Amino acid sequence: MSLYRIGETDKARILYKEAEINGKNGYSINEDNAIYERYPYQVRWR
Q: Enter the pTM of the model.
A: 0.60
> Does a structural domain hold residue 23?
yes
Answer whether residue 1 is part of any domain: yes
Q: Are the CB atoms for 45 and 24 separated by under 8 Å? A: yes
Predicted pLDDT at 32: 65
Per-residue model confidence (pLDDT) at position 6:
92
Which pLDDT tens digit goes with each residue over 1-46? Answer: 588 889 999 999 999 999 899 888 988 776 665 566 666 767 776 6
How many separate domains does the chain show? Answer: 1
Angular region, 26: left φ>0, alpha ψ -120 to 50, beta rest? left
The domain of 23 spans 1-27
Q: What's residue 9's pLDDT?
A: 92
Residue 17 has a pLDDT of 93
* CB-based contacts of 16, cutoff 8 Å, min separation 6: none
User: Residue 7 domain-assigned?
Assistant: yes
Q: What is the Cα–Cα distance from 33 to 12, expressed in whole angstroms?
A: 28
Would residue 45 count as lying in a domain? no
